[in-house]
Chains A and B, each alone.
Chain A
Amino acid sequence: MSWFMGIDIGSAYSKGVLTGDFKLVASHIIKSGADYRKSAEAIRTELIRKVNVTQKDIANTVATGSGADNVYFASQKASDIVCTARGINNVFPQARTVIDVASQSTKVIRLNEEGIVTNFTASEKCAAGGGRFIEVIANVLRIDLSDFSRLAARSRSPITFSTGCAVFGESEAVTRISEGISKQDIAAGVNKALASNISSLVKKLKLEEPCAVCGGGALNTALVKLIESELNTKLLIPSQPQLITALGAAIIAAASATS
């Protein structure tokens, strides 16, 4: 059996998948931390441990993400846009648009039936355009990121942020807390702001259905629901949305090894 590895080093999390016979057989996610080289190594070690093979058994490795340069053992690098498209095409071949809600930015990609990118756009390099806005506010609210969606879903009157900046939004959240506004209304306010930013990004590129959503932001089901209602469409959600880009990298690793 031939094994292929895809490693996606993002600004917040590093993700890796191992495929065998074109199927995902193992995956691993860790926080990226300050040393991306170490993160990459840790992921490789864990992946080969999980399937009980050695480094030599990995036929090819492709790296992607903003920290791809640190994956020194990869044979090639691929753009995260291309990897996300290939990954989503593997899971949902019918998808013609994919929204990748990552920590650093949100990307909207249009793709054809072969998983080839036909057009794409990304949010400005601003924390308020991606999942980082949620991380920042979750930190102020002292809630776990995994509780964010559940908390936001309970809100009856989400706040409206007066600012589009995550730093000013952080101060605004602190003020709201001191005014006695509940955590769920603040969390729901963040989702509302982010959903509106993401939806206008999708509309800028023009939505072609069916549309999928991936990246860590796709785990926030309250956010996904808001995007669905703004775009008036049902979104396809993979079971492990954070792994899609790494999966795409592994697929490219397999394709370039066999061609």
Chain B
Amino acid sequence: MYFAGVDIGSTMTKVVLTDKAGNLLSFIKGPTGAEHRRLANEVMRQALEEARLHIDDISYVVATGYGRLNVPFADRQITELSCHARGVSSLFPGARTAIDIGGQDAKCLRIDNGRLASFVMNDKCAAGTGRFLEVTASALSIRLEDMGDISLKATRRVPISNLCTIFAQQEVVALLSRGEKLENILAGLHDALASRVAALARRLGIEPELVLTGGVAKNIGMVKAMKESLGCEILVPKEPLLTGALGAAILAKETYKKAPAAGEALPTKSRRLEKATFFNQEYR
């Protein structure tokens, strides 16, 4: 008995496979393309290969993330908020608050008894999301994954005066051309994003333990800036991108086990993995 969680985010697609005890068998991450379905199939195929499983071995599949409706082989769709809450609390049973900073939004969740209790999110303005770092990194011609490490060398944290990502992009280029050190500018950029996300989190109220997830959590400079901004300890999972997909796999297991007990039939989708196309009306 095996379960799958598929998380289609704006930037990355993630698949997690677990056994009936909830042990992680394999996980695969790939960039989300313009066509979610085709990529979901491909990432799923790789995850199955790594776990030496066949698609028919999977008892139940839950899809989540903003592209969750475009996974043809998923049996059920669950919002990323519920999946994140479940995934985070499975890794950190003491977690009461989770902050997820993705490429297109930032979410703050309160967790109660392993379940989502309340949340606030920003998907309106790029300045409070991972996109802020993506855009400014490209303006400074450095790789996104190097930003955090470089920022740790800062001797001074240059305040970024513009809130808007577009204007900040222009500002950092001007700062650099004025001779400001790259690491000092980067430290300022991390502070700017941290303070925006912290303001969002404070609207919800922060209770320890606090877990940071999403692609931005892989940035060590950002974890440091968030700690300073919030003034509390921050836990980061080993694979911060996977909590949504992990939560989806756990919820798949729970759904599968609960339904027969409640005397309900559990409809499942056909386990076809062939390429779906945009014009396949069945899934529209």
State whether B124 touches A132 (Cβ < 8 A): no
Interface size on A, residues (CB 8 A): 17
> Nearest chain A CB to B122's CB is how many angstroms away?
10
Given A165-B125, A167-B135, CB of A132 within 8 Å of CB of B174 = no
Bound together, the chains give a CA A121 to CA B264 distance in angstroms of: 60
> Nearest chain B CB to A16's CB is how many angstroms away?
21
Given A11-B167, A104-B167, A125-B163, CB of A167 within 8 Å of CB of B126 = yes
| Interface of B, helix, strand, loop or mixed by DSSP | helix
Which of the residues A35, A125, A163, A178 comes within 8 Å of B164, measured between beta carbons?
A: A125
Determine if A257 is an interface residue (Cβ-Cβ < 8 Å): no
- What chain A residues lie within 8 Å of B170 (beta carbons)? 11
* 0 or 1 for each of A135-173: is its CB under 8 Å from B? (1 = yes): 010000000000000000000000000011111100000
Given A165-B126, A167-B126, CB of A34 within 8 Å of CB of B167 = no
> Nearest chain B CB to A166's CB is how many angstroms away?
5
Which of the residues B104, B125, B166, B177 comes within 8 Å of A132, measured between beta carbons?
A: B166
Determine if A25 is an interface residue (Cβ-Cβ < 8 Å): no
Determine if B165 is an interface residue (Cβ-Cβ < 8 Å): yes
Determine if A127 is an interface residue (Cβ-Cβ < 8 Å): yes
Which of the residues A127, A163, A164 comes within 8 Å of B166, measured between beta carbons?
A: A127
Given A34-B177, A167-B135, CB of A136 within 8 Å of CB of B166 = yes
> Nearest chain A CB to B154's CB is how many angstroms away?
22
Bound together, the chains give a CA A185 to CA B49 distance in angstroms of: 45
Q: Which of B59-92 contact A (CB under 8 A)?
A: none
State whether A168 touches B167 (Cβ < 8 A): no
Determine if A75 is an interface residue (Cβ-Cβ < 8 Å): no
Please list the residues of chain B having a beta carbon within 8 angstroms of any beta carbon in chain A: 34, 104, 124-126, 131, 135, 162-167, 170, 173-174, 177
Please list the residues of chain A having a beta carbon within 8 angstroms of any beta carbon in chain B: 11, 34-35, 104, 125-127, 132, 136, 163-168, 175, 178
27 contacts between A and B (CB under 8 A): A34-B174, A34-B177, A125-B163, A125-B164, A125-B167, A126-B163, A127-B164, A127-B165, A127-B166, A127-B167, A132-B167, A163-B124, A164-B124, A164-B125, A165-B124, A165-B125, A165-B165, A166-B164, A166-B166, A167-B131, A167-B165, A167-B166, A168-B104, A168-B126, A168-B131, A175-B34, A178-B34
